[in-house]
Amino acid sequence: MRIVHAAIFNTFKYGHEYYSMDRKISNGLIREGHFVYDFSYRDVCRAENPFKTTSIGKGKMNRLLILTVDAVQPHLLLLGHSEMITAETLNHIRTTHPDIRIGLWYVDPLFHTDRIQHLIKRRGCMDAMFITTGGDLLRQFKTPENRIAFLPNISDPSVDINTNHEKERFDIDFIFGGSDSKEPERQAFLKNMTAALGKTMRCELWGALGNPFYTDHQFYEKLSRAKMGLNLSRRNDVYLYTSNRITQLAGSGILTFSPRVPGLEKVYSENEVVYFDGLDDLVKKANYFHTHDDERKQIASAGWDRTHRSYNCQRVTRFMLDLLFEQPFSEPYEWISEII
């Protein structure tokens, strides 16, 4: 089928963040045999006005999306975040293309309620929405006509290329990559963690506690040198929600440590990642696996296999299309129970 995928893509970052969910989803759809036309809506906003701002270019971008759909005649318009694409535009597209399906995926947390109003305003335009959170928080997007589904964070074998579970020697024993801006509790946790683990192993933080963050291939090069890593979201008490850091770590064969996020054991079992309860438990378990390499390899290998087998971009996008086009599910996806 033909698909227009309107997402962020960051064309004008010239290769930075090439590992984003946008490209993994397009890659999965293409590998499933579909034609995908990428529409980088924020870049179009900036490029199509003399001041290079998204606010001024929003109207023209919406008009150009309509022209793109008219030109490609897609079977599916798939939106990634797409907060600038209006309900009026989507209703116009549905009127002029009555057989089209419209879906949306969203990977940011839902607890920032001010940032999800655009999803609520456009819920009536969607055939299905896919969100990296589960449970009752999804009900605010439900209408009698649409379906709302949990979306696992996606891996891509052409991007997540590391196989650290097969290695024995590392330059970095424990890593964390992520921002701590305006997060004093997060800063304190990371500072105390680094102080405790630094007594027995080599730790690196990227993007936190004043350290630089990497958004190009250095990110995966750094991952290739790491033995263990931390998956830590800004909140860890939201059902099934975690950042895509978990697939970047586990999908690299890095032994991944995560707080006990509610429901996350449905995505990764205790044999695939190491769950911890608080800082002391994290330090204790990290030190244990630092000196028990066979057990480290066993769990890291299982996490790598789960990531690439269950959450690879082809399999997850196949699930999305099954739901969007109301087809019988092509296989028993582990998260089918998280659809409303």
304: nearest Cα among 257, 250, 265, 227: 250
pLDDT of residue 182: 86
pLDDT of residue 144: 98
| Structural domains of the chain sorted by starting position, each given as residue range(s) with its CATH number in brackets | 2-154+312-338 (3.40.50.2000), 164-310 (3.40.50.11660)
Residue 194 to residue 205: CA distance in whole angstroms = 8
pLDDT of residue 336: 96
Question: DSSP H helical segments within the chain, as ranges?
Answer: 21-31, 41-47, 54-72, 87-96, 117-121, 184-197, 217-223, 245-250, 278-290, 293-310, 313-324
What's the pLDDT band for 273 if we cut at 50, 70, 90? very high
Residue 188 to residue 230: CA distance in whole angstroms = 15
Taking 90 as the threshold, does the pLDDT of residue 321 lie above it? yes
157 with 26: CB under 8 angstroms? no
What's the pLDDT band for 326 if we cut at 50, 70, 90? very high
Q: Is 32 exposed, middle or buried (0-12, 13-18, 19+ CB in 10 A)?
A: middle
Could you read off the pLDDT of 305-320 as tens digits, one per residue? Answer: 999 999 999 999 999 9
Residue 206 tokens, joined: 């990227």
What's the pLDDT band for 131 if we cut at 50, 70, 90? very high
pLDDT of residue 55: 84
Taking 90 as the threshold, does the pLDDT of residue 108 lie above it? yes
pLDDT of residue 248: 98
- Give me the mean pLDDT over the 27-38 stretch: 99
Distances (CA, A) of 235 to 32, 116, 272: 34, 17, 21
What's the pLDDT band for 174 if we cut at 50, 70, 90? very high
Could you read off the pLDDT of 176-223 as tens digits, one per residue? Answer: 999 998 899 999 999 999 999 999 999 999 999 999 999 999 999 999
Taking 90 as the threshold, does the pLDDT of residue 107 lie above it? yes
**Residue partners of 105: CB distance under 8 A and separation at least 6:** 21, 25, 78, 79, 80, 81, 129, 130, 131, 151, 320
Q: How many residues make up the chain in this entry?
A: 340
pLDDT of residue 53: 87
Q: DSSP characters for 222-284?
A: HHTTEEEEE---S-S-STT---THHHHHHTTT-EEEEE--TTGGGTS-TTTSEEESHHHHHHH
User: Considering only 3-7, 51-55, 81-85, 136-140, which range has the smallest mean pLDDT?
Assistant: 51-55
Q: How far is CA 278 from the centre of its chain?
A: 25
Taking 90 as the threshold, does the pLDDT of residue 241 lie above it? yes
What's the pLDDT band for 80 if we cut at 50, 70, 90? very high
Taking 90 as the threshold, does the pLDDT of residue 54 lie above it? no
What's the pLDDT band for 82 if we cut at 50, 70, 90? very high
pLDDT of residue 294: 98
